[in-house]
Structure 1
């Protein structure tokens, strides 16, 4: 359960965020990754490095307002920060010793979703072609060339 629960939390996050209308989804996720970047500020145990990481995470989250890629990068940076805290700092939840470890398993699930464009999973299942209409255009071009 130590490994499965964080992965399920990541999938739950993706599912719930997919319910947010697409026009708001990217910006809300940028805000979420900014918040995650500041999660260790009040007691992560790494002193001034906590502020440095929060500054980097804030910059990446700001770029994420317009880019799913930067949001994904932000979650991957937070994953690395979780690992550092699991090994050398304090856990993200003070009374749960393995909380940072769990967060390090959960965050990459979210990052992969963000790097994939933050689309709802059920949209991926319905999608049959990455470039709808591309085959039709290619056929038109080829038939036009053959007629000449």
Structure 2
């Protein structure tokens, strides 16, 4: 299911016009950086992570690579929270594990340039306009 959620996220985002798509995703990665803050599973370490992710998201306003890096950082944070037993959704014990599977799908899309549906069609059908 987490892979499908990641693919659904990518497909829906691929519909957003490029002038907004990268900025929207920079905001999303910033929000992901603060997702664990209210649970505080890692105590004071949650704050430096939010600062790091805010910086990465800021850089992501102009770079798909930085957004991809942000999703990979969030994946690592998911793994740490899963191992620590502090899930992203408190009443779903495996939620951080699922998030750690979903996030790399999004990261891969971002690291390849956050393509649109039209870009995908052009890649699959080289003769398409």
Q: TM-score range by the shorter chain?
A: over 0.9
Alpha-carbon distance, 1:45 to partner? 1.2
Contact 2:15 2:117 in 1 (8 A): no
Q: TM-score, normalised by structure 2?
A: 0.93
Gaps of 5+ in 1: 130-148
Structural RMSD (CA): 1.3
Structure 2 segments unaligned to the other structure (5+ residues): none
Are 1:6 and 1:105, in contact at CA under 8 Å, matched by a contact in 2? yes
Report how far residue 126 of structure 1 moved. Answer: 2.0
Q: Which has the larger radius of gyration?
A: 1
Partner residue of 2:77 out of 66, 74, 81: 81
TM-score (norm 1): 0.81
**Alignment of 1:12 onto 2:5:** no
> Of 84, 96, 99, which aligns to 1:100?
96
Q: Distance in 2 between matches of 1:12 and 1:75?
A: 16
Aligned residues: 125
Question: How far off its partner does 1:120 sit?
Answer: 1.9
Matched, 1:24 2:20: yes
Q: In 2, distance between residues paired with 1:89 and 1:59? A: 27
